[in-house]
Amino acid sequence: MVVGELAESVDLLVLGGGPGGYVAAIRAAQLGRKVTLVDQAGPAGLGGVCLQVGCIPSKALIELANAAHRMSEMEEMGLSADGVTVSLERFQAWRARLCLDLARGVEQLLEDGDVSIVHGRARFNKPDRVAVRTPEDRALFFEFGQAIIATGSRSVELPGLPFDGERVLDSTGALALDEVPASVAIVGAGYIGLELGTALAKLGARVTVVEALDAILPAVDPSLAAPVLRRLKTLGVHVRLRATAERLEGGELVVRDAHGDQRVPAERVIVAVGRMPNTDDLGLAAAGIPVGPDGLIPVGEDMSATRRIAAIGDVVRGPALAHKASAEGVVAAEALSGRPSAFEPAAIPAVIFTDPEIATVGLSEGEAREAGMDVRVASFPLSASGRAGTLGEHDGFTRVVADASTDRVVGVHIVGPHASELAAGGTLAIELMASPYDLTGTIHPHPTLSEGLHEAAELLLGHPIHVRTPSLNRIPKGPLHGHV
C-alpha cells in the first residue's frame, strides 16, 4: 500500500469484512487470487454487523434470557430456582470475549489464505481505483483489477426519534445495554424488534411494541406469527398495532393511533424499523455503478454490477441475511475468477429467534396458490410431539406445502422450539426437489423435533400415524413409492 496519490495495484479488492466479504475473499484466495480486503472496523471488528453487533450478540442475549426465564417456568417439572439473578454487565464482558474470539478466528482464516487486510473506510474515485481513509486518518490508494462490494447495511433512523446512544437506541445500542431497563418501547414489530423485545421482557423489563401496520411480523404468514403473539401476551408484552411513534416527552414515548396521542412508559426506546444499504458514501458514481432509489445495486446472476465489479449481501436485492451474503460471496469470487457460477438457489431459509422460534423456507400456501400450483398442505401440531412435551412446549407446528402436479415439496414452515436448527431439513428437501414420499420414506430419529417434518408429510399424504382423524385413513392398494 502507498500513502498519498500513488496507488498500489491489487488483483482483487474486497470492500467489507462481514459474512459476505470475508467468505468471498477466502474463496477467491482458494482459487489462486491475490486478495486485499478493506474493512472499516479495527482488527477486533472483523465479521461485520453479524458477528459484532447483530446475529451473534443478539442470539447470545436471547440464550441468556431464555435460560433465566425457563428456570422460573420449571417448578412443575420439579426444579426450584429461587434466587436466580442476571447481570447484564457480566454478560457484556462474556459477549465481548466471544465476539473477539470469533473475530480472531476470521482474521486467522484470512491470513491462512494470504489475504491482505487493510482497516479503513473505502470510497471509489475512479472505475478502477479506491481511496481508503484509515483510523489514523491516513489516505491509502489502491488500483484494482476487480472488486467485490460487501459493505452491508445500517439501521434506519426515524426523524422524530434520532439515535442518541442513551435514550433512543438502534439494535447495536440495545445489545450493548449493561442493565435491564425498567421499561422499554420497541418501535417496529419485525424480527429484530420482537427478538429484542422478547428477550428484554424475559429479563424483567416492561415492554411495549409499537407497530404502524396491523400485524406483528408483517412479512410472515399470519398463521406463523399467531403463536408468537400469544407468547408475547403471556410474557406481559403490550403490543400496539396501527400506531406510530412520534416523539419522546420526559420518560414516555408519545404514540399516535386512531384514538389520538397516547403515552407509553419508556426508559429506553429501541427503534427497529428496518435497515438501509451502506452504498450512499461509496462514490459509486465514480465507479460507473448504478444505484436504485432504495440504495441497492443491480446485479446479474453472477453478482456482477459492472464488468469488473461485483456486489453482494445487504447492498443487493433479496433478504438481508448473513447466509445469503456468504453464498453470494462464493458466487462472486468464482465468477470474477473465470469459473461458471450463478446465484440461483431453489430457496433461502429465514429464521426468527422469537418465542417460539419461526423457520420458513420456500413458498407459503398462499404464494404457492398465487403461482398456480396444485397445492397440498398439512401441518403437524407440536402438541402431538413427545419430544416437545419433554420440553414443556406445545404451541407450534411443522407445515409442509407441496405441488401435487410435480410431486415436489415447495415450502416448509416450522414454529416451535429449535425451529432454527430444523430449517436445514426443509431447505434440503426443496433444493433436492424431494417429494412428500421422500420425507415419509426417510427415517427420522425419535424422540426429536425433527420428526415433525416426517409427520407433516404423512398427514399431507392422508395417512398420519400420530394425529387423530375422524376415521382411520385407508391406504390405497398398490406400491407406496418412496416408502421403506
Which of 192, 180, 197 is CA-nearest to residue 240? 197
* Within-domain flag for 468: no
Which residue among 259, 418, 446, 466 is the active-site one? 446
* Within-domain flag for 13: yes
Q: What is the pLDDT of residues 445-470, one digit of tens each?
A: 999 999 999 999 999 999 899 998 76
How far, in whole angstroms, is CA 43 from its chain's centroid?
A: 24
Q: Which of 336, 366, 382 is the last residue of a domain?
A: 336
User: Which pLDDT value is given to residue 481?
Assistant: 46
Q: What is the pLDDT of residues 174-231, one digit of tens each?
A: 999 999 999 999 999 999 999 999 999 999 999 999 999 999 999 999 999 999 999 9
Interatomic CA distance for residues 301 and 317, integer angstroms: 11
Q: Which of 227, 251, 273 is the last residue of a domain?
A: 273
In this structure, are 137 and 6 located in the same domain? yes
Residue type, 415: V
In this structure, are 407 and 320 located in the same domain? no
Dihedral-angle region of residue 11 (phi above 0 means left; psi in -120 to 50 means alpha; beta otherwise): alpha
Phi/psi of residue 27, nearest 5 degrees: -65, -40
Q: Which of 312, 336, 360 is the last residue of a domain?
A: 336
Number of independent structural domains in the chain: 3
223-230, long-range: CB within 8 Å, 24+ apart, which pairs? 224/358, 224/360, 224/413, 224/415, 225/358, 227/356, 227/395, 227/396, 227/415, 227/416, 228/194, 228/352, 228/354, 228/355, 228/356, 228/358, 228/415, 230/395
Instruction: Confirm whether 446 is a catalytic residue.
Output: yes
* Within-domain flag for 128: yes
User: Which pLDDT value is given to residue 484?
Assistant: 35
CATH number of the domain at 451, please.
3.30.390.30
- Helices 88-112, 55-73: axis angle to 10 degrees equals 140
Interatomic CA distance for residues 229 and 216, integer angstroms: 7
* Within-domain flag for 10: yes
Q: Are strands 139-149 and 309-311 parallel, antiparallel or unpaired?
A: parallel
In tens digits, what is the pLDDT along the chain, a chain of 484 residues?
A: 444 568 899 999 999 999 999 999 999 999 999 999 999 987 778 999 999 999 999 999 999 999 999 988 888 888 887 778 999 999 999 999 999 999 999 999 999 999 999 999 999 999 999 999 999 999 999 999 999 999 999 999 999 999 999 999 999 999 999 999 999 999 999 999 999 999 999 999 999 999 999 999 999 999 999 999 999 999 999 999 999 999 999 889 999 999 999 999 999 999 999 999 999 999 999 999 999 999 999 999 999 999 999 999 999 999 999 999 999 999 999 999 999 999 999 999 999 999 999 999 999 999 999 999 999 999 999 999 999 999 999 999 999 999 999 999 999 999 999 999 999 999 999 999 999 999 999 999 999 999 999 999 999 999 899 998 765 555 555 444 443 3
* Within-domain flag for 97: yes
In this structure, are 132 and 85 located in the same domain? yes
What's the domain range around 359? 350-460
* Within-domain flag for 229: yes
Cell numbers found for residue 83? 434466587
Which of 115, 261, 268 is CA-nearest to residue 181? 268
In this structure, are 99 and 146 located in the same domain? yes
In this structure, are 43 and 147 located in the same domain? yes
In this structure, are 54 and 175 located in the same domain? no
In this structure, are 74 and 27 located in the same domain? yes
Interatomic CA distance for residues 39 and 106, integer angstroms: 12
Cell numbers found for residue 436? 412428500
In this structure, are 379 and 298 located in the same domain? no
User: Which pLDDT value is given to residue 139?
Assistant: 96
In this structure, are 317 and 371 located in the same domain? no
* Within-domain flag for 280: yes
- Going from the C-alpha of 33 to that of each of 7, 113, 147, 452, 463, the distances in angstroms are 19, 10, 12, 45, 55
Residue type, 287: A
Whether the upstream peptide bond of residue 356 has omega within 30° of 0, thus cis, is yes
In this structure, are 322 and 428 located in the same domain? no
In this structure, are 127 and 185 located in the same domain? no
Interatomic CA distance for residues 192 and 223, integer angstroms: 19
* Within-domain flag for 299: yes
CATH number of the domain at 306, please.
3.50.50.60
Check if the beta carbon of residue 308 is closer than 8 Å to that of residue 289: no
- Helices 322-336, 21-30: axis angle to 10 degrees equals 30
Cell numbers found for residue 246? 412520534
Q: What residues contact residue 400 under an 8 Å CB cut-off, 6+ apart?
A: 377, 378, 409, 411, 412, 436, 439, 453, 456, 457, 460
Cell numbers found for residue 415? 414454529
In this structure, are 367 and 261 located in the same domain? no
